[in-house]
Amino acid sequence: MDHEEALREKATERYLLNELDPNLTDQFEEHMFGCQECAMDVRAAAMFVEQSKVVLSERPQGSSVRVPVVVPVKPGWFGWLRPALVFPVLAVLLAMIVYQNLVTYPQLKEAANTPQVLPWASINVSTRGATTPVITVRAGQGFNLLVRVPPDTNYASYRFDLHSPARSLEWSRTIPAAAADDTRSIYIPGASRPAGTYALIVYGVTAKGENSQLGRYPFELEIQK
């Protein structure tokens, strides 16, 4: 998949909404690892979602929402249109719309357009026995893994598997091999991610599809309180 095709297929939006079929998902992920523009779009959208959860979980101080009291009426298609019920509901909806336009949307826009320096850790595939890096993030904040993959003519691609502290597989990505030293920036969303020791396992994949584990690289994730 090239960049023009990604734009034509609206791949970024469909990828985030999980609307791409498995084949297109793999093609877009391979393209995203080599396309800075698409990678930034995905990263910005993921940050937008994370910030949305934070902002929408907040409520202005001193605000309160009245829950309308519903008086039982005879059943019917238009029973809910009584003024005693409709007016309070409309007032609540109007208050939500005003709050979103005056508070929520400006904050989300500012967060999406403001450069951020995210926590990160560097992983060198050719290095073994290195000290386990520690990444400290705020609750819900994402982080970057900078993975350096040395050139190796034995492999046509590389697979990255991220394992949680419970040793379960969180996700797996495959990228084509490069002809020279290649450093990839992998953004890890932080939504509801627990603290603990994670592991990035790297595999070399031959042209015939044979896998060979190149290393297991643990890192410690700490959550600020």
Query: 111: exposed, middle or buried (C-beta count within 10 Å: 0-12, 13-18, 19+)?
Result: middle
Torsions phi, psi for 108 (to 5 deg): -65, -40
What structural domains and CATH numbers belong to the chain? 1-57 (no CATH), 60-113 (no CATH), 117-225 (2.60.40.10)
Cα separation values, 15 from 23, 27, 29, 190, 207, Å? 12, 11, 9, 18, 27
**Model-level pTM greater than 0.85?**
no
Query: Residue 29 in 3-state DSSP?
Result: helix
> Are the C-beta atoms of 209 and 171 separated by less than 8 Å?
no
- pLDDT (tens, 9 = 90+) of the chain, 225 residues, equals 787 888 888 887 787 777 888 888 888 887 777 776 777 777 766 666 665 555 555 555 554 544 444 444 444 444 444 545 444 555 556 666 655 555 555 555 555 566 666 788 888 887 766 688 999 998 888 899 999 888 888 999 999 999 999 999 998 989 888 877 778 888 888 777 899 999 999 999 999 999 999 999 999 999 987
Cα(73)–Cα(15) distance, integer angstroms = 47
Quick one: tokens of 176? 């084509």
Q: In the 3-class helix/strand/coil scheme, how is 33-93 assigned residue by residue?
A: HHCHHHHHHHHHHHHHHHHHHHHHCCCCCCCCCCCCCCCCCCCCCCHHHCHHHHHHHHHHH
